[in-house]
Amino acid sequence: MKLSKMLFKSLRETPSDIELESHKIMIKSSLIHQAGSGIYSYLPLAWKSLRKIEQIIREEIDNVGGQELRMPVIQPKSLWDKSGRSISMGQELFNLNDRRQKPFVLAPTHEELLTSIVKEMIYSYKSLPQLIYQMQTKLRDEPRPRGGLLRVREFIMKDAYSFDLNKDGLDESYENLSNAYMNIYNRCGLEVIKIEADSGAIGGKDSHEFVAISDAGEDKIVICNNCNYSANSEKASFSKKQYTIDSNLENQEFPTPGIKTIASLCKFAKVESYQTIKAMFYNSKDELICAVIRGDYEINELKLARAIGDPNIKPASNELLKKHDIPAGSASPLGKSIKVIADDSLLKANNYIAGANKEGYHIKNVNIGEDFTASIIEDISQIPDNAQCSKCNKDLSFKKAIEVGHIFKLGTIYSEKFDANYLDINGKSKTIEMGCYGIGTGRLLAAVIEQNHDKNGPIFPKSISPYDLIISPIKYENKIIKEYSDKIYDLLKSNKFDIVLDDRKESPGVKFSDADLLGFPIRLIISEKLIEQNMIEIKLRNSEESIKIENKKLIDYLKK
RNA sequence: CGGGGUGUGGCGCAGUUGGCUAGCGCACCAGUAUGGGGUACUGGGGGUCAUCGGUUCGAGUCCGGUCACCCCGACCA
**A21-31 pLDDT, tens per residue?**
999 999 999 99
Whether A248 sits with its Cβ under 7 A from any strand B atom: the answer reads no
The interface pTM score, or ipTM, of the predicted complex is: 0.94
Q: What would the pLDDT profile of A83-111 be if each residue is shown by its tens digit?
A: 999 988 888 999 999 999 999 999 999 99
Residue type, A248: N
* Protein-nucleic contacts, chain A 512-531 to strand B, CB < 7 Å: 512-517, 525, 527, 529-530
Whether A218 sits with its Cβ under 7 A from any strand B atom: the answer reads yes
Q: What would the pLDDT profile of A27-64 be if each residue is shown by its tens digit?
A: 999 999 999 999 999 999 999 999 999 999 999 999 99
Whether A157 sits with its Cβ under 7 A from any strand B atom: the answer reads yes
User: What pLDDT does A406 receive?
Assistant: 93
Q: Is residue A76's pLDDT more than 90? A: yes
User: What pLDDT does A374 receive?
Assistant: 92
Rounded Cα gap, residues A449 and A447, in angstroms: 5
Residue A168 CA neighbour count, 13 Å, CB half: 0
* Protein-nucleic contacts, chain A 330-389 to strand B, CB < 7 Å: none
Rounded Cα gap, residues A109 and A106, in angstroms: 9
Q: What is the mean pLDDT of residues A430-459?
A: 96
Rounded Cα gap, residues A180 and A157, in angstroms: 16
Q: Is residue A197's pLDDT more than 70? A: yes
State, as a whole number of angstroms, the distance between the CA of A481 and the C1' of B49: 47
Contact A446, A171 (CB under 8 A): no
User: What pLDDT does A319 receive?
Assistant: 81
User: What pLDDT does A203 receive?
Assistant: 57
CA distances from A272 to A277, A349, A352 (A): 11, 12, 10
Q: Label residue A284 by pLDDT band (50, 70, 90).
A: confident
State, as a whole number of angstroms, the distance between the CA of A321 and the C1' of B38: 66
Whether A456 sits with its Cβ under 7 A from any strand B atom: the answer reads yes
Q: Using the CA of A438, which nucleotide's C1' is the nearest one?
A: B77
Highest mean pLDDT among A124-128, A230-234, A408-412: A124-128
Rounded Cα gap, residues A396 and A384, in angstroms: 10
Q: Is residue A315's pLDDT more than 90? A: no
Q: Using the CA of A39, which nucleotide's C1' is the nearest one?
A: B69
Q: What is the mean pLDDT of residues A317-328?
A: 84
For the ranges A78-92, A191-205, A264-278, A401-415, the lowest mean pLDDT is seen at A191-205
State, as a whole number of angstroms, the distance between the CA of A32 and the C1' of B72: 25
User: For chain A, which domains are there?
Assistant: 32-197+401-450 (3.30.930.10), 252-382 (3.90.960.10), 467-559 (3.40.50.800)
Rounded Cα gap, residues A352 and A157, in angstroms: 50
Q: Is residue A182's pLDDT more than 80? A: yes
State, as a whole number of angstroms, the distance between the CA of A443 and the C1' of B5: 27
Q: What is the mean pLDDT of residues A146-158?
A: 95
Q: Is residue A204's pLDDT more than 70? A: no
- List the beta bridge partners of residue A355: A362
State, as a whole number of angstroms, the distance between the CA of A508 and the C1' of B40: 15
User: What pLDDT does A302 receive?
Assistant: 85
* Angle ∠(A132,A134,A137) on CA atoms, nearest 5: 150
User: What pLDDT does A294 receive?
Assistant: 93
Rounded Cα gap, residues A307 and A207, in angstroms: 16
State, as a whole number of angstroms, the distance between the CA of A462 and the C1' of B60: 50
Residue nearest to nucleotide B74 (CA to C1'): A143
* Protein-nucleic contacts, chain A 91-110 to strand B, CB < 7 Å: 92, 108-110
Percent of chain A at pLDDT exceeding 90: 81
DSSP one-letter string for A439-492: EEHHHHHHHHHHHSEETTEE---GGG-SSSEEEEETTTTSHHHHHHHHHHHHHH
Protein-proximal positions, strand B, CB < 7 A? 1, 5, 11-13, 25-27, 34-39, 68-77
CA distances from A513 to A12, A46, A223, A508 (A): 10, 19, 39, 8
Q: Label residue A283 by pLDDT band (50, 70, 90).
A: confident
| Other residues' Cβ atoms within 10 Å of the Cβ of residue A233 | 20
Helix H, strand E, coil C: the string for A185-205 is HHHCCCCCEEEECCCHHHCCC
Whether A77 sits with its Cβ under 7 A from any strand B atom: the answer reads no
Whether A200 sits with its Cβ under 7 A from any strand B atom: the answer reads yes
State, as a whole number of angstroms, the distance between the CA of A449 and the C1' of B25: 30
Whether A143 sits with its Cβ under 7 A from any strand B atom: the answer reads yes
Whether A19 sits with its Cβ under 7 A from any strand B atom: the answer reads yes
Taking all residues of chain A, what is their mean pLDDT, rounded to a whole number?
A: 93
Whether A257 sits with its Cβ under 7 A from any strand B atom: the answer reads no
Whether A406 sits with its Cβ under 7 A from any strand B atom: the answer reads yes
Contact A506, A513 (CB under 8 A): no
Whether A73 sits with its Cβ under 7 A from any strand B atom: the answer reads no
Q: What would the pLDDT profile of A468-517 be if each residue is shown by its tens digit?
A: 999 999 999 999 999 999 999 999 999 999 999 999 999 999 999 999 99
For the ranges A208-222, A317-331, A496-510, the lowest mean pLDDT is seen at A317-331
Determine how β-strand A287-294 pairs with β-strand A339-343.
Answer: parallel
User: What pLDDT does A258 receive?
Assistant: 87
Q: Label residue A201 by pLDDT band (50, 70, 90).
A: low
Whether A325 sits with its Cβ under 7 A from any strand B atom: the answer reads no
Residues contacting A36, CB < 8 A, separation 6+: none
Residue A457 CA neighbour count, 13 Å, CB half: 24
Torsion of CA A318, A265, A385, A207, to 10 degrees: -40
